[in-house]
Structure 1
Amino acid sequence: MNEITSSETRDIILDVAEKLIYKSGIAATGMDLLVKTAGVSRKSIYRYFANKDDLIVAALKRRDERWMHWFSSEVDKAPTPAARLLNLFTVLKGWFDSEGFRGCAFINTSGETGDPEDPVRQLAKLHKQKLLDYVTRLCVDQGVENPDALARQLLILIDGAITVALVMGDHGAADQARDMLGSLLKLDESNA
């Protein structure tokens, strides 16, 4: 019989916490549910995390790292700077169409906290800043006149498309955002 190592137990707890938080939110993810779903004792959870808040922040940090890596890797597969900008929304569309899509974990969890200084809100802000920095780099690579301004507009298009896809069930929001970007930059598939 294989014994589970300490780091594997911690990873299991984080994986389960992330999935439950993404599916149902912070408030609905109680310690009893975490214990039951992860198949670990409450003592095991507290061995790695001082409290539920620490566990939530750790799970969201992992999601941030994993999501940003996935997203940038997929977007960067496009062959040219212009194509990568358009690919932002193609990749989002694929995510929207995936099983279990529940919107942006950082927008969702931020909505559960009222305090702008709450660690969850601060982590969400950091996630959005990383996304903004990445999109700014894409704009610089494309050689747009004002990459910072365009990147901020694209962040709004990205988060707007995510929100519309979740709330309205309209996965075509990614296509509409992509069309808006194409019009803004006079880009299409033929010159990207």
Structure 2
Amino acid sequence: MDSEVAREQALDAAEKLFYGRGVQAVGMDAVRTASGLSLKRLYQLFPAKEELVVAYLERRDLRWRGRIAEHVERHDDPQERIPAVFDWLEEWFGEADFRGCAWINSYGELGATSERVVAQVRAHKRAFRDYLAGLVTDAGLADVLAGQLFLLAEGAMVTAGITGSAEPAAEAREAARSLSRAN
């Protein structure tokens, strides 16, 4: 089997298991079983579980940011792109397997013990904040709004993950609209 195919199989299995059950609750044996790879092959691809966790977060980051950008870019009006972020969050929160933010969850589990996971989490959050800053600039609004929107979105993610409800996105969207009008 080609290394890239095997890597994707391992990452598919890891993502489903890590996101669904938690990183620390899932051993490499479970990833091996779910991926259909031998344990030897899995360790050839990812010599340590930490490497698999970082790769899972990196791949998820690219997909997550791509999905949100694709949704937001459907709106031609830069003013409508900001609430569109929260529309997308609401859709995401409503997915059957939604378990909160993968990066916040991973940070909560491994932030005290893995500098590499912390770096990946911070890179993801920085990229998301920068994305919001670009939307704010494109809409001609005050730069300070980016940080406010970031906090609204992050708070909605945490709240939705805990409550199992998509409602925090709708509430955050309305707050974002109010803040946008004020800026």
TM-score, scaled relative to structure 1: 0.90
* Divergent runs of 4+, >6 A: none
The CA deviation at 1:18 is 1.4
Partner of 2:90: 93
The aligned amino acid for 1:23 is G
Q: 3-state SS of the aligned residue for 1:28?
A: coil
Partner of 1:20: 17
- More divergent stretch after superposition (72-81 vs 107-116): 107-116
Q: Output the CA distance in 1 between the equivalents of 2:113 and 2:27.
A: 23
The aligned amino acid for 1:108 is N
Q: Output the CA distance in 2 between the equivalents of 1:70 and 1:39.
A: 28
In the alignment, is residue 172 of structure 1 matched against residue 180 of structure 2? no
Partner of 2:101: 104
Q: Output the CA distance in 2 between the equivalents of 1:87 and 1:151.
A: 14
Q: How does 1:102-181 map to 2 (within 5 A)?
A: 102-115=99-112, 118-145=115-142, 147=143, 149-181=144-176
Partner of 1:47: 44
The CA deviation at 1:6 is 2.2
Percent identity for Structure 1 against Structure 2: 37
The CA deviation at 1:75 is 1.3
1:66-119 deviations in Å (ceiling 9; x for gaps): 111111111111121110001010010011111211111000000012438621
1:98-145 deviations in Å (ceiling 9; x for gaps): 121111100000001243862111100000000011000000001112
Change (3 A) 1:185 1:66: same
Q: Output the CA distance in 2 between the equivalents of 1:108 and 1:19.
A: 14
Q: CA RMSD in A?
A: 1.4
Change (3 A) 1:124 1:114: closer
The aligned amino acid for 1:54 is E
Q: Output the CA distance in 1 between the equivalents of 2:34 and 2:114.
A: 30
TM-score, scaled relative to structure 2: 0.95
Higher helix share: 2
- The answer on whether the counterparts of 2:145 and 2:180 sit within 8 Å (CA) in structure 1 is no
- The answer on whether the counterparts of 1:116 and 1:122 sit within 8 Å (CA) in structure 2 is no
Q: Output the CA distance in 2 between the equivalents of 1:121 and 1:55.
A: 14
1:30-69 deviations in Å (ceiling 9; x for gaps): 0111111111110011111111111111111101111111
Q: Which runs of 5+ in 1 are unaligned?
A: 188-192
- The answer on whether the counterparts of 2:11 and 2:52 sit within 8 Å (CA) in structure 1 is yes
**Higher CA-based Rg:** 1
- The answer on whether the counterparts of 2:152 and 2:172 sit within 8 Å (CA) in structure 1 is yes
Q: Output the CA distance in 1 between the equivalents of 2:96 and 2:165.
A: 15
- The answer on whether the counterparts of 2:10 and 2:35 sit within 8 Å (CA) in structure 1 is yes
